[in-house]
Amino acid sequence: MTQHDSPFDLLARDDEDHRWAFGTGFTDPLAGVDTAVPEGVDAKALAAYCLMLGDDALIFSHRLQQWITNLPELEEETAVANIALDLLGQARMLLARAAGADPSLAPPVLAYPQEDRLAFFRTESQFKNVRLAEWADGDFAELVARLLIFASWRLALFERLRDTADPVLAAIAAKGVHELTYHRDYAAGWVVRLGEGTELSHERMQRAVVALWPFVDELFIDHQAELVAPSGVRGEVDAVLDTVFELAALDRPQVAALGAVAGRRGRDGAHTEAMGYVLAELQSVARANPEATW
């Protein structure tokens, strides 16, 4: 009989039972990828930008996950779950890239991989997502309107990032383009269906677009760390949104943009009240039980 110091040795052994708990062996999503930052690329700027894009995806994904079991049809459950999963996958790679390029970003909670330290152990002001990502959807119309705006904008950025100097970020973007295309088309399909549907669905779709419009301008404000200037994609995104609004018989809202707080917006770590609730749910288990594994 083989001797073991601890019964857990048996669990850790790589044998026929290595599937004993699927998902426990979560690995670095960039494991086996050459992650050296190429010469001529500013590692700090690269990390700061990956953090922004990663936070957008992480927080948006969490808001979509909150919809699961509450959607109107089974088909929408699977669609929204899959979109949330795509964004979570993008978040994992981007946060791992950010921490790899600038290890000082990740809080020193050594028991955790760097991507988890970024997700679970940063405070609200350290999150750099746009405020659109944290919005709590009041109904399905808000969900699809928010996804349409977010996916159209992110797709336009990722199209350009395919040519960025860092090969890892370029590869993440190239993969993301295919995913975001499906997300945008899914959301656009629903915006048109509801906008062109009944009197009530039209009214609620229009109301949703108006409610979200204050968050749109922030998406296109340039920030020093960005490798693709968001102001440069506004025309392309506007054209997509205008096409959808026309098909959906919706009016493009004329409402003021959400203001800055002492000059700071989401990218500077200034968030809306909604953000605290997202982080409480996202982080409480990891913070209460820092040794927990799952």
Partner 1 sequence: MRPGAWEVAAAVPDPELPIVTVSDLGILREVAQDGGSVTATITPTYSGCPALAEITAELRHRLVAAGYLEVEILTRLSPPWTSDWITAEGRRKLAAAGLAPPQAARRHSGSVPLTLLAARPAVSCPRCGSARTARTAEFSGTACKALYRCDDCLEPFEYVKEH
The site for partner 1 (CB under 8 A) is made up of 14, 18-19, 22-23, 25-27, 30-33, 75, 78-79, 81-83, 85-90, 92-93, 155-156, 159, 167-168, 170-172, 174-179, 181-182, 184-186, 188-189, 192, 236, 240, 243-244, 247
Question: How would DSSP label each residue in 213-225?
Answer: GGGTGGGG---TT
* 54 touches 118 (CB < 8 A): yes
Residue with smaller CB distance to partner 1, 164 or 272? 164
Min dist. Cβ of residue 19 to partner 1 (A)? 8
Residue whose token pair is 């960025």: 164
* 84 touches 61 (CB < 8 A): yes
**Can you give the C-alpha Rg of the chain in angstroms?**
21
State how far the Cα of 283 lies from the Cα of 116, in Å rounded to an integer.
Answer: 10
Residue with smaller CB distance to partner 1, 144 or 271? 144
- Distinct helix (H) and strand (E) counts, the chain: 9, 0
Min dist. Cβ of residue 93 to partner 1 (A)? 6
Residue with smaller CB distance to partner 1, 71 or 258? 71
Min dist. Cβ of residue 243 to partner 1 (A)? 6
- Phi/psi at 261 (nearest 5 deg)? -110, 110
Min dist. Cβ of residue 28 to partner 1 (A)? 10
Residue with smaller CB distance to partner 1, 76 or 124? 76
Residue with smaller CB distance to partner 1, 173 or 265? 173
Residue with smaller CB distance to partner 1, 93 or 271? 93
State how far the Cα of 262 lies from the Cα of 218, in Å rounded to an integer.
Answer: 15
Min dist. Cβ of residue 230 to partner 1 (A)? 15
Residue with smaller CB distance to partner 1, 189 or 269? 189
State how far the Cα of 225 lies from the Cα of 167, in Å rounded to an integer.
Answer: 18
Min dist. Cβ of residue 14 to partner 1 (A)? 6
Min dist. Cβ of residue 185 to partner 1 (A)? 6
Direct distance between the N- and C-terminal alpha carbons of the chain, in angstroms, rounded to an integer: 30
Q: What share of the chain is helix, strand, coil (3-state, %, to 5)?
A: 60, 0, 35
Q: Which two tokens stand for residue 119?
A: 């997700």
